[in-house]
Amino acid sequence: MTDDVRAAVADAFTAEWGKVVATLIGMTSDWDLAEECAQDAFAQALKAWPRDGVPQKPGAWLTTVARNRALDRLRRSASESAKLQQAVLLTPPQDPAGADMETEDIPDERLRLIFTCCHPALPLEARVALTLRTLAGLTTAEIARAFLTAEPTRAKRLVRAKQKIRNAGIPYRVPPAHLLPERTSGVLGVLYLLFNEGYTATAGSNLVRHDLCAEAIRLARALAGLMPDEPEAKALLALMLFHHSRRVSRVNKSGDVITLEDQDRSLWDQGEISEGVRLLEAAARREQRGPYLVQAAIAQCHATAATAADTNWGLIADLYDLLAELIPSDVVRLNWAVAVGMAHGPAAGLERVDALAATGALDGYYLLPATRADLLRRIGRNDEAAESYRRALDLAVNEAERRYLAGRLEEMSSATGDEAADGNRSTG
Amino acid sequence: MKYMMLICSDDSVVLSPKERAEIPAATEAWVQEMDSSGIRLLGDQLRPPNDATTVRVRNAQVLLADGPFAETKEQIAGFDIIECEDLDQALDVAAKHPVARFGLIEVRPFWQ
């Protein structure tokens, strides 16, 4: 097979897998059958395309082959319910090479699929895995690897989730208006979680898992296209792009974290940044001010600052203040304290961090002592900074972040050591 | 689809006398709404777990125990059988039940 055809099949897989599965589920209500028939269709493409050439509309070709395959299997299977068979048999089989295939546009049903995958009656982990499996076409092995879990565990969870969709009667649809805002934010939450899982791996030694980030961006892009009137979908995509633009500069060759301040900004992906700016502009045209819009606006302040010193921290602090109203979260308040520290000096930031620490809400969260340590370091209270770095180190899990904290701690200890030596000299 | 709603109280939640007094009327209103729309097929309140007896048969012996089979903070206080389009509708119906505001409701699909 030529590389061209192989690449065409790979491209079709990326672009069309979710669409084919979504259409097949809509037609058969059987998730497993839909996936198997989609797989068959791609296997068929690997055989047929080198021989017959790549069809003009690969998606329509694949959907037709998958649909015919499903029809075939349902006709043969006596165990399927009569009602299901009836629904399917009404659709006549089609010739994928037929003339209608070149013109027919198959409606994109992925929105129904994504809302069903992200249904709040499913456990969060299953929502993430189902989305990756059915929409992005990752295998259970790939999903297991991405989340560093054992494959059988993942596979079992996927099976259970699909069973619940069927047995509990989770509808395959875009939710009606009264449920839509809440469910949309659920879908956005799953995609952002996916992105963050890739961006800051919660465990293991690699800080960034690019594949997951790329999948999350691809899914967010699809969602933004499918929901053109939803500004939060555009804002989420913009937010991901702003973060992703820094993926190369964010860690050094040994995998250590480089803070925003110290990153080489010439490495930032300007294409992604300008796409993010355009998306955010379009999203901000609506009245609605959702949490992703505000977060994207914050990310834009960083992404578009020519140097770290040019960062508009005053605006960022105001945006975090606004964000804390939209999502009452102590982590958001911690970020607000950081921004205040940058805009109005470390003492002002420390005051807010200490107020937050006093509530005890973020006990056990390593970024609380880590933030406190950075502010103390900037004020020059090195002993206290060292103590806070030590506490953060006790709590941090990600190895790259632990190395960063250990580096800072060492810096503090040697600085403190110098001071002590100086003190000794003066008294001696 | 048919669903069973298990209406559970949560002993850890303390209600004011006023809140407690409002429950029967609110429940009655919910029952009327769901009965008239044909969603609720059957339902009732249950006596507390103190009045329960647990039955087991082992080696052809009937074994009886006083009380519920599991001691939990949440106690089944009643049940409703509802007929709904899908889970979303069943969840809506459950969320409207007054006990959902201080207790909890388990929504279980029927086997078939």
Q: What is the pLDDT of residues A135-187, one digit of tens each?
A: 999 888 888 877 777 788 888 999 999 999 999 999 999 999 999 999 999 99
Please answer yes or no on whether A168 and B87 come within 8 Å at the CB atom.
yes
Most B-contacting residue of A170, A173, A182 (CB-CB within 10 A), to test interface: A170
In angstroms, the separation between the Cα of residue B29 and the nearest Cα of chain A is: 22
Instruction: Inform me whether the C-beta atom of residue B82 falls under 8 Å from chain A C-beta atoms.
Output: no
Considering only CB atoms, B109 lies closest to which of A167, A171, A175, namely A167
What is the C-alpha to C-alpha distance for residues A38 and A32, in angstroms, rounded to an integer?
A: 10
CB contact under 8 A, A169 and B91: no
Q: Nearest CB to A171: which of B3, B87, B109?
A: B87
Q: A169 at the B interface (CB within 8 A)?
A: yes
How much is the pLDDT for B72? Answer: 79
Asked whether the beta carbons of residue A169 and residue B90 sit closer than 8 angstroms, the reply is yes
Pick the residue with more confidence: A426 or B86?
B86
At residue A401, the pLDDT reads 81
**Chain A residues touching residue B83 (CB < 8 angstroms):** none
**Top-confidence residue, B46 or A415:** B46
- Note the ipTM here: 0.90
Tell me which of A28 and A100 has the higher pLDDT: A28
A209-237 pLDDT, tens digit each:
657 888 899 999 999 999 999 999 999 99
Strand ranges of the sheet holding B104-109, from the earlier edge strand across to the other edge: B40-45, B74-83, B2-10, B104-109
3-state secondary structure of B78: strand
Q: Is residue A99 pLDDT above 50, yes or no?
A: no
Question: Does A93 have pLDDT greater than 80?
Answer: no
B109 in A contact zone (CB under 8 Å): yes
- Please, are residues A74 and A192 in contact by the beta-carbon 8 Å criterion? no
pLDDT at residue A141, as a whole number: 84
Average pLDDT over residues A420-427: 38
pLDDT digits 0-9 by tens, A24-66: 999 999 999 999 999 999 999 999 999 999 999 999 999 999 9
- pLDDT confidence of residue A425: 37
Nearest CA in chain A to B85: A169
Residue A15 CA to residue A108 CA, distance in Å, equals 11
Q: Is B109 within 8 Å of A170 when comparing Cβ atoms? A: no
Token pair 């609110």 is at which residue?
B26
Average pLDDT of chain A? 87
Smallest CA–CA distance from A183 into chain B, residue: B88
For A175, phi and psi rounded to 5 degrees?
-60, 150
